[in-house]
Amino acid sequence: MTVEPVDPSAARVSRTNGRGKALAVIAGSQLLALTLWFSASAVAAQLEVEWQLTETALAGLTLTVQIGFVVGALVVAILNLADRIPSRRLFTAAAIAGATANLGLLTVTADAVWGGLALRFLTGVALAGVYPSGLKVMAGWFDRGRGMALGVLVGALTVGSATPHLVRGLGAPWQGVVIASSALTVAAAILMRVGVADGPFETAASPFSWHQIGRVVRNRGYRLSTFGYLGHMWELYAMWTWTAAFLAASAAAGGVSYGSIGVVTFVVIAAGGIGAWLGGVWADRFGRPLIAGGAMAISGACALTTPVLFGKAALLVIPVFVVWGITVVADSAQFSTMATEESEPDVRGTSLALQTALGFLLTLVTIRGVPLIADSIGWRWAFPVLALGPAFGVWAMVAMRRPASTAISRP
């Protein structure tokens, strides 16, 4: 029997065929599913009245999601679930669970507010199965151009996270925001399950091992990429969570109008989608540490300018916040990309889950800390503390560019 030789060019084509569709489907799924994150925070003002929330319970609408995500991501990392369960299957199951928990908010009453916070916690746990697995599915489709691909994915996450603010800003009641986000998440589960297959670079399922986390954290490149991610996360979610409150206080203090705070907040957060895409494209070309460090330098500078902007006209305030919204996300996907490039293939999912768990654990400090600062000395001075994270992240990226981590220093 004669065996026909394999055409190398045909093999390369077969490995990349369908990448455009995969990019669109995976990013679309992430966009739809991440509407769960701020589905309650976006309507906090309405829930404050409806559920008679205290200030602590109001902050808990976001904090419990973060805590749930941390718990879920740690479970995923410790039990190696992201490397043992096929990524698309994990994404689908977690998305449906999150949509169900979110929909349960419709049954909460003022006499059972802790039930609502428990549902937000469960939503966060579910999202820990959505976000890292989505990253892993995308990494399975892209070897070259992975920074761009994960940048598009994080951009989709950003727009999805901002969407509840837009729905609320357009006048929907809080129940409508909750129902819409759950429906979109179910659509995300279906899209991920039937709209895309596993990519040519997807890793095979690996057996459980207690030693996987040890293998991950002993990697210097992984540690530095995670240090950068921690600096990024110190800033990101506190900025997203409290931008609306800062803008409302600024408008009141200056006697000016910023239009619909909900729509402006959507624009500020959603602008990060542009930053994530551009950051990915430039990082593939010029190097991840350079682009990630540069983005953090700009976003940190924006945080430092907020006291000067407080109470000023929309023409001054909104453009700076849009720039902040773009740069605060431009680095995000590159830390995940570095983690996948530095880690061994069979622990890729565990490395992503651990990195995100640690990052989201840190967000608890600043999400709670920013309003405490505002209560103490006013919203004018609430955001400069966020610049500490980017400063630490820039240090990590400078260290990443040293020769000891050559795999990451190359574009």
88 in Cβ contact with 137 (< 8 Å): yes
What's the gap between Cα 113 and its chain centre? 27
- The overall average pLDDT reported for the chain is 85
pLDDT digits (tens, 9 = 90+) for 331-357: 988 898 888 787 776 677 778 878 888
Q: Is residue 9 part of a domain?
A: no
Buried-exposed string 181-201: b where 16+ CB fall within 10 A, e elsewhere: bbebbbbbbebbbebbeebbb
The values of phi and psi at residue 82, to 5°, are -70, -20
The CATH number for 99's domain is 1.20.1250.20
In a 10 Å sphere around its CB, with 0-12 CB exposed, 13-18 middle and 19+ buried, how is residue 211 labelled? exposed
Q: Is residue 12 part of a domain?
A: no
The reported pLDDT for the residue numbered 204 is: 62
pLDDT digits (tens, 9 = 90+) for 161-213: 888 878 887 788 889 999 999 999 999 999 999 999 887 876 665 554 556 67
In a 10 Å sphere around its CB, with 0-12 CB exposed, 13-18 middle and 19+ buried, how is residue 8 labelled? exposed
Domains of the chain: total: 1
Q: Is residue 205 part of a domain?
A: no
Q: Return the percentage of the chain with pLDDT > 90, whole number.
A: 44
pLDDT digits (tens, 9 = 90+) for 289-345: 999 999 999 999 999 999 999 999 999 999 999 999 999 999 988 898 888 787 776
Q: Is residue 395 part of a domain?
A: yes
Structure letter (DSSP) for residue 5: P
Q: Is residue 6 part of a domain?
A: no
The reported pLDDT for the residue numbered 222 is: 85
Q: Is residue 315 part of a domain?
A: yes
In the chain, the N- to C-terminal Cα span, in Å, equals 45
Query: Where in the sequence is the domain holding 46, given as residue range(s)?
Result: 19-196+212-409
> Which of 354, 323, 371, 360 is closest to 81 using CA atoms?
354
The reported pLDDT for the residue numbered 11 is: 38
Q: Is residue 4 part of a domain?
A: no
Entry pTM: 0.77
Angstrom CA distances, 364 to 66, 296, 325, 360, 380, stand at 7, 20, 20, 7, 21
Question: Which strand (E) or helix (H) includes residue 331?
Answer: none
156 in Cβ contact with 27 (< 8 Å): yes
Structure letter (DSSP) for residue 126: H
Q: Is residue 27 part of a domain?
A: yes
Q: Is the pLDDT of residue 231 over 50?
A: yes
Q: What's the average model confidence in pLDDT over 254-283? A: 89
